[in-house]
């Protein structure tokens, strides 16, 4: 889904070390850890089925709204950025999240009524028999399902 949104194939995390010092690298993974560095940048660990890498989100890019502040554990995200010279860190330029298309609520023409009751305590000393009986009488008078 993320690859379709970006219109390119994600680079495997296990081969990221081959991209040392390169930019515009696209990776996808599941977030396994989120923390903040001493300098205030966000450190995100992402993993796929074979390995994991560290992605750094620079605080100035987060402040400008170029990168998200809210990264959740177990969230699947994509990052585009440049790989460190050591090949084990990706410095994110952008974050891609899958689109979740909201479904339109289904509706019907007929009106539906619902009454939710809980903790009635029928049979208990706590049971409020008179109050419950008044509720049932009220419901039977006002219910659209009542019989004439």
pLDDT at 146: 65
| Rounded to 5°, angle at Cα 54 from 52 and 56 | 155
Distances (CA, A) of 117 to 75, 114, 145: 37, 10, 18
Q: Specify the 3-state DSSP secondary structure of 128.
A: coil
Residue 61 domain flag: yes
Residue 28 domain flag: yes
Give the pLDDT confidence of 48-60 residue by residue, as tens digits.
998 999 999 999 9
Q: Residue 110 and residue 93: Cα distance in Å, rounded?
A: 51
Residue 111, Cα to own-chain centre: how many angstroms? 33
Domain that holds residue 10: 2-96
| Rounded to 5°, angle at Cα 13 from 10 and 16 | 95
Residue 43 domain flag: yes
Total domain count, the chain: 1
Q: For the domain that residue 41 is a member of, what is the CATH number?
A: 2.40.50.140
Residue 146 domain flag: no
Residue 130 domain flag: no
Residue 136 domain flag: no
Residue 127 domain flag: no
pLDDT band, very low/low/confident/very high, at 147 (cuts 50, 70, 90): low
Q: At which residue do the structure tokens 């049979």 appear? A: 123
Mean pLDDT of the chain: 86
**Per-residue pLDDT at 2 exceeds 70:** no
Q: Residue 47 and residue 7: Cα distance in Å, rounded?
A: 21
Structure tokens at 3: 């690859």
Residue 24 domain flag: yes
Give the pLDDT confidence of 58-95 residue by residue, as tens digits.
999 999 999 998 999 999 999 999 999 988 899 999 99
């Amino acid at each position: 889904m993320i690859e379709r949104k970006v219109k390119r194939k994600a680079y495997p995390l296990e081969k990221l070390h081959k991209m040392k010092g390169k930019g515009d690298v696209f990776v996808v993974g599941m977030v396994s850890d989120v923390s903040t560095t001493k300098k205030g940048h966000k450190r995100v660990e992402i993993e796929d089925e074979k390995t994991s890498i560290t992605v750094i989100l620079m605080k100035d890019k987060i402040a400008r709204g170029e990168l998200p502040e809210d990264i959740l554990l177990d969230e699947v995200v994509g990052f585009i950025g440049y790989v460190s010279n050591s090949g084990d860190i990706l410095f994110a330029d952008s974050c891609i999240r899958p689109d979740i298309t909201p479904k339109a609520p289904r509706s019907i023409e007929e009106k539906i009524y619902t009454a939710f009751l809980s903790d009635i305590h029928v049979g208990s000393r706590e049971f409020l028999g008179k109050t419950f009986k008044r509720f049932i009488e009220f419901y039977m008078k006002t219910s659209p399902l009542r019989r004439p």
